[in-house]
Amino acid sequence: MFYKKISSKGLAHFSYLIGDENEAAVIDPRRDIDVYLKEAEKEGTEIKYIFETHRNEDYIIGSRALASVTGAEIFHADGQLAYQYENTVEAGKKYKLGRLNLEAMHTPGHTKGSHSYILNDYDDQPWMIFTGDILFANDVGRIDFYGEENIPEIAALLYDSLYNKIMPLGDGVIICPAHGAGSVCGSQIADREITTIGIEKKSNPYLQYKSKEEFVSEVGEMEEKPQYFKAMEAANLEAPARTELPFVKPLKPGEFEEKAAQKDYVVIDIRSESDFASAHVPSALYLRDNILASFIGWFMPTDKKILLVNDGSYPEETIRTLYRMGYEKIEGYLYRGMLSWNMAGKDSNSISAVNISEFCDFVKDKNKDEYLLLDIRKEEEKEEEGYLESAKEIPLNDLQADLNNYLAELENKKDIYVFCGSGIRSMTAASLINAHLEADVKVVLGGLTAWSASKCLLKIKK
């Protein structure tokens, strides 16, 4: 028997290649399929089946692309939707993989047609369960996709799937979810690479309820959705069959500048905060490579033309991330990075970055109306970590979504200090403001983490 978990950075998406002898299946494949082909070749096995746990919202499924190369049979969940390809999975059916079998189990609750897949061992006993977005380490899937009025109904379905179908399989059964910590599909997913039903029964707060009524009354609320979710939902009913990554051209400074000046292009800078602060292409949006997947879906539609700025090397991992999320119009990256831009004599912008000591020294002798403290953390972060005294609170996603109105509020403000948890998102917020206003925007390095370790005059309110 062989088992391989495929982790997709940024999206915190997990897909799986499992099998026995020379028969294998892939569960929830990502769009760039080369990893499955390489692993199958390494194991000397044939990919016989492709299974989907639900219609995905945060990435484009690679089912048709993988099937076009391997000839594997696809089984998708959410059969009530208008899929344009292959078969709807049949609950209760077992699919043979060598000496093992994979059993489909209808587990609605994230979506109405969600399915989990039980890997039964050589004695036909449950060994692993692939839960998709129904059950994560320390969390469960969102239940708000059908609207607020339907949350009680979906919560009831989720309860039945968790308490009456999954939990009775046995404490030793290994749980293989579709996402890990950092995914937009769950806000409390633990950074626990391996978990079991027994571990979750002890530690997952959603598995501690005494009754279905209590569960339904307390679980579930409307959450914000990145704008790209709709594009993913539509694309995944067709599942694009393209198998190759797009090639992205290096652009010399003059050509890059010409494209960047056009309205249908956006420049994304993925370098470190210090590099971006020092010098960047005017109007560039800062999305460091390690937060790109978490935020780009909030910031722009998938049909936007993208120009990249990095260290000048070929940005393959960034291209993969964007491609998985449906961003295919990657029109080029800056040849040799900002070095070539500066050597060509092109204009650049910069953003001031200060450490917590510098900030505290500045505010010590200032009235609160002489500067603006901008806190871009989410409400749940502030509830947990504390509120900054006298800060203007604009969560980063809100700032982007209603940028023009917020810019009007920030106009003519001097010395805007931007805070988040660590400083990375603050640089993104500063890049948004800096591209449109002539305000003196400064990022406080280390964010609230640094503040908590200091003896600053301003206080954190719990």
CATH number at residue 363: 3.40.250.10
Same domain? 225 vs 357: no
Tokens of 237: 């009913």
Classify residue 226: in a domain, yes or no: yes
The whole-number pLDDT of residue 47 equals 98
Q: Name the stretches of the chain with pLDDT < 70.
A: 457-459, 462
Residues 49 and 112 in one domain: yes
Does residue 356 share a domain with residue 332?
no
**245 belongs to a structural domain:** no
- For the record, the structure tokens of 425 come out as 């998102």
pLDDT of the residue at 225: 87
In a domain, residue 173? The reply is: yes
Instruction: Please tell me the total count of domains within the chain.
Output: 3
Q: Is 403 exposed, middle or buried (0-12, 13-18, 19+ CB in 10 A)?
A: middle
Q: What is the pLDDT of residue 37?
A: 97
Q: What is the per-residue pLDDT for 199?
A: 98
Do 119 and 218 belong to one domain? yes
What distance in Å separates the CA atoms of residue 114 and residue 53, rounded to the nearest whole number?
Answer: 6
The structure's pTM equals 0.92
Q: Provide the residue count of the chain.
A: 462
Domain that holds residue 275: 250-343
Q: Which of 320, 343, 366 is the last residue of a domain?
A: 343
Taking the C-alpha atoms of residue 290 and residue 387, their distance in angstroms, rounded to an integer, is 26
Are 179 and 276 within one domain? no
| Residue 28 near residue 15, CB atoms below 8 Å | yes
CATH number of the domain within which 81 lies = 3.60.15.10
- 54 belongs to a structural domain: yes
Which letter, b or e, does each residue of 363-382 get, where b requires 16 or more Cβ atoms within 10 Å of its Cβ? beeeeeeebbbbbbbbeeeb
C-alpha to C-alpha distance for 92 and 106, rounded to whole angstroms: 8
Last residue within a domain, chosen from 299, 323, 343: 343
Residues 430, 338 within the same domain: no
Token digits of residue 90: 């049949």
| 3-state secondary structure (DSSP) of residue 103 | strand
Whether 241 maps to a domain, the answer reads no
Name the one residue in this structure whose structure tokens are 């539509």.
234
Asked whether residue 157 falls in the same domain as residue 114, the answer is yes
* Beta-carbon count within 10 A of 447 CB: 23
DSSP H or E stretch at residue 66? helix 63-70
Q: Which helix (H) or strand (E) holds 93?
A: none
Instruction: State whether 280 and 303 are in the same domain.
Output: yes
Residues 93 and 184 in one domain: yes
Instruction: Report if residue 264 sits inside a domain.
Output: yes
Q: Report whether 314 contacts 242 (CB < 8 A).
A: no
- Contacts of 137 by beta carbon, 8 Å cutoff, 6+ apart: 175, 177, 180, 181, 189, 190, 191, 192, 195, 199, 200, 204
Four-residue CA torsion sign, 66, 72, 76, 79: positive
On whether both 206 and 269 belong to a single domain, the answer is no
- Token duo for residue 383: 């509830």
Is 230 inside any structural domain? yes
- Cα(376)–Cα(419) distance, rounded to whole angstroms? 6
197 and 258 in a single domain? The answer is no
Task: Say if residue 218 is in the same domain as residue 146.
Answer: yes
Answer whether residue 194 is part of any domain: yes
Domain boundary among 319, 343, 367: 343
